[in-house]
Amino acid sequence: MQTKIILPEDKLPKQWYNIIPDLPGPLAPVISPRTGEPVTPEELLAIFPPAILEQEMSSQRWIDIPEQVRDIYTMWRPSPMFRAHRLEKALGTPAKIYYKYEGVSPAGSHKPNSAIPQAFYNKQAGIKRLATETGAGQWGSSLSLACSLFGLECTVYMVKVSYFQKPYRKSMMQMWGATVYPSPSEMTEAGRAALAENPDSNGSLGLAISEAVEDAATHGDTNYALGSVLNHVCMHQTVIGLEAIEQMKMVGDYPDVVIACCGGGSNFAGLAFPFLADKSAGKQVRCLAVEPASCPTLTKGVYDFDYGDTAKLGPIAKMYTLGHDFMPPGIHAGGLRYHGESPLVSQLYNAGLIEARAVMQTGCFEGAILFAKTEGIVPAPESSHAVRAAIDEALLAKEEGKEKTILFNLSGHGFMDMTAYDNYLAGNLEDYEYPAEMVQESLKHLPKVKL
């Protein structure tokens, strides 16, 4: 009974898949908050290196992965795929459940897939320091690792609620040499303004982005790196899905549905985009993005132009949004607390090419513990959203007496999130559905964009 599906190192993808040329229509332009006009390359070059900017705009379907990046990828890639025999048995389902496991990266999640090339291209461009934000700490630790490997300095603005909920993540970044500030911080105008308004602010990913962008924009030797949302980040993550397709071939199977949790969208994109493009199996796979009911961007947001950050410093993009001043509660899946969504994922969802579902956090932890007790691995709270949805799909298959092949991305491990499990086991976690009327209130503040 084969459990692990291991792709040989020489099958590590040589190119990333860029979905832009395969979209159902042109991408809406990104708008400058300063001019209200489409953003110019010059504005973006203040915070991004040329190679990243080129990737962000590229209409080339396949983009070469530099050798130096592939070399570091091999530290943990190709990542393993597992058949969840024990979970299937515990559920009594006729469905086959596979999962791709990204928790084997040194930082413990899929995030280094983009942190490594971003650090590489910035180093190449002569940049000395990268500034970034982090929610759960997965991205911040991944960029800290990447900067350490390429000899760059790293400054991380960590959403305050996560800074205190996940002290180990902070320590990990510091161990890799990064400087970490709880956001809102006193280091930036955006942070000071937020603190003046509410000294006890929990922070948000949108606000932390404002701080990091401001830091990069105001320091010549410093660039900004974003861990999700943007096109190039989604593209870097496609190594996940590209490997998964090969691994599925190795066992002669193919998924009916692929499932990933969805915050900014890069993790979902990484698994789903290559499957959306794959015609080899002669069938179309369902792609399901899973988000928290407390931050229901796709399922309760609107598809419109909005700021990517709270302080309105970053570009305006057309995406699903809950409003840039949406302030999510301090749920444990800190990586899924973003008000917006990747424009790529948004366009696909709007076109009906992918599905979305919002789930409650206690159901996610319940699923994660069943998973840990059967498959051994402790899922990250973010990944537990995909676990929950995979279990629900498997239970539905059981109810309907149907065979089905499910593949989900276990995007990270939860070794550093045990406080959340503690709270769940102690019965201290509450479910929370973000009220529609509060979303409506936030949506009143969308920027006016005329094209």
Contact footprint for its own copies (CB under 8 A): 1-4, 6, 8-9, 71, 74-76, 82, 86, 104-108, 145, 148-149, 167-168, 171-172, 174-177, 369, 372-378, 413, 415-416, 418-419, 421-422, 425
Looking at beta carbons only, is 328 or 414 nearer to its own copies? 414
3-state secondary structure the chain: CCCEECCCHHHCCCEEECCHHHCCCCCCCCECCCCCCECCHHHHHCCCCHHHHHHHHCCCCEEECCHHHHHHHCCCCCCCEEECHHHHHHHCCCCEEEEEECCCCCCCECCHHHHHHHHHHHHHCCCCEEEEEECCCHHHHHHHHHHHHHCCEEEEEEEHHHHHHCHHHHHHHHHCCCEEEEECCCCCHHHHHHHHHCCCCCCCHHHHHHHHHHHHHCCCCEEECCCCCCHHHHHHCCHHHHHHHHHHHHCCCCCCEEEEECCCCHHHHHHHHHHHHCCCCCCCCEEEEEEECCCCHHHHCEEEEEECCCCCCCCEEEEEECCCCCCCCCCCCHHHCCCCCCHHHHHHHHCCCCEEEEECHHHHHHHHHHHHHHHCCCECCCHHHHHHHHHHHHHHHHHHCCCCEEEEEECEECHHHHHHHHHHHCCCCCCCCCCHHHHHHHHCCCCCCCC
Looking at beta carbons only, is 71 or 433 nearer to its own copies? 71
Q: Which residue has the tokens 């413990």?
A: 108
- d(Cα 323, Cα 212) in Å, to the nearest integer? 20
Q: At what angle do helices 361-375 and 383-400 cross, to 10 degrees?
A: 80
- d(Cα 52, Cα 163) in Å, to the nearest integer? 29
Q: How far is the CB of 38 from its own copies (least distance, A)?
A: 39
Looking at beta carbons only, is 150 or 434 nearer to its own copies? 150
Q: How far is the CB of 138 from its own copies (least distance, A)?
A: 12
Q: How far is the CB of 5 from its own copies (least distance, A)?
A: 9
Q: How far is the CB of 68 from its own copies (least distance, A)?
A: 11
Looking at beta carbons only, is 107 or 242 nearer to its own copies? 107
Q: How far is the CB of 220 from its own copies (least distance, A)?
A: 26
Q: How far is the CB of 124 from its own copies (least distance, A)?
A: 18
Looking at beta carbons only, is 47 or 172 nearer to its own copies? 172
Looking at beta carbons only, is 272 or 420 nearer to its own copies? 420
Looking at beta carbons only, is 17 or 421 nearer to its own copies? 421
Q: How far is the CB of 107 from its own copies (least distance, A)?
A: 8
Looking at beta carbons only, is 149 or 331 nearer to its own copies? 149
Q: How far is the CB of 331 from its own copies (least distance, A)?
A: 18
Q: How far is the CB of 83 from its own copies (least distance, A)?
A: 11
Looking at beta carbons only, is 21 or 167 nearer to its own copies? 167
